[in-house]
Amino acid sequence: MILTVCTNPTIQNTYQLASLKTGEVNRIAQKRTDVSGKGMNVSRVLSQLGCEVVHLTQLGGRNKDWFLTEAAKIGVSVQYAQTEAEIRTCTTLIETDSKPPVVTELVEEGNSVNMETEKELRSLFKNVLKTKLDAVVISGSKARGFSGSLYPDFAAESLCAGIPLIADYRGCDLLETLKVCKNAGKGRLVVKINESEFCGTFAGQDALPRDGIFAKMEEISADCHCSLIVTRGERPLFALDGKRRYEIEKYILPDIHTQNTIGCGDSFAAGFVAEFVRTGDFEAALRKGSLCGALNAATLVPGSIK
């Protein structure tokens, strides 16, 4: 079983329209609404890959029951800390006249939670950790109100229990995670991050040259005993496992057209962890992740390969 953790649950509205004309009336050709948030996107793809998955989050407000019902429909078991905060809504606008489609994302900030929610979430995490887990995936930024130690503590507890951890988040949360997890235990730590977030988190700038990225990855790996994956959109991803460097080209799927790029990184994470748990082969897991990312772009659902 794989545990996914995300503290920013989302209701995702996806709208297709011919083109977006600002300041004018725009008519929608197609709309769908899905349970989302980075961790739920990972969970959906894991379920589609045949993995048993449990998703840990916080939920409350008028849409909580709808969220749980929709998650059950896609084969995802949800454990949640009760909160009064409403689930945020994010919106994707897809302009189909452009080839490939132009995708615009409108992202709400997560509503603030209180310390009682964090206390309950920590308790739930400890309980799930006692079950037979093959891996833990922690994705996305925290909702407001959670302490800065939440993700680092979850990461350290996973590694101390000998459970592989995929950390897909950025900034101070990631830096603190690497600090506390240097000698956290026998679990395997894999950092998965996109290029702009990597450069911002570790270099304080928007971009680095190829050799600069690999040099920084090697520095982090040597200091923190972790593997790293830097995704780069349409360009080859960079990865480092031990002293071995990887550059993996994006999968090109013939006769399949891009519909929605939202959730491609989450689909990559799901494909990677599913294959890594199954085989232990880092390179095969990178390629599986790349395939899942490409398959996601061919669907309207954020975080889906079917």
Region 117-126 average pLDDT: 98
The 3-state secondary structure of the chain, one letter per residue = CEEEECCCCEEEEEEEECCCCCCCCCCCCEEEEEEECHHHHHHHHHHHCCCCEEEEEEEECCCHHHHHHHHHHCCCEEEEEEECCCCEEEEEEEECCCCCCEEEEECCCCCCCCHHHHHHHHHHHHHHHCCCCCEEEEECCCCCCCCCCHHHHHHHHHHHCCCCEEEECCHHHHHHHHHHCCCCCCCCEEEEEEHHHHHHHHHCCCCCCHHHHHHHHHHHHHHHCCEEEEECCCCCEEEEECCEEEEECCCCCCCCCCCCCCCHHHHHHHHHHHHHHHHCCHHHHHHHHHHHHHHHHCCCCCCCCC
Judge whether residue 217 has pLDDT over 90: yes
148 contact partners, CB below 8 Å, separation of at least 6: 172, 173, 176
Confidence category of residue 181, pLDDT binned at 50, 70, 90: confident
Segments making up each domain of the chain, as ranges: 2-20+28-297
Q: Which CATH architecture has domain 2-20+28-297?
A: 3-Layer(aba) Sandwich (3.40)
% of the chain with per-residue pLDDT over 90: 91
pTM for this model (two decimals): 0.95
pLDDT one-digit tens code per residue, 230-259: 999 989 999 999 999 999 998 888 877 889
Confidence category of residue 159, pLDDT binned at 50, 70, 90: very high
Name the average pLDDT for the chain.
Answer: 95
Region 24-41 average pLDDT: 97
Nearest to 201 by CA among 224, 178, 225, 235: 178
Pick the range with the lowest mean pLDDT from 96-100, 183-187, 258-262: 183-187
7, 38 contact by CB (below 8 A): no
pLDDT one-digit tens code per residue, 258-305: 899 999 999 999 999 999 999 999 999 999 999 999 999 999 999 999
Confidence category of residue 203, pLDDT binned at 50, 70, 90: very high
Separation between Cα atoms, residue 48 and residue 306, nearest integer Å = 8
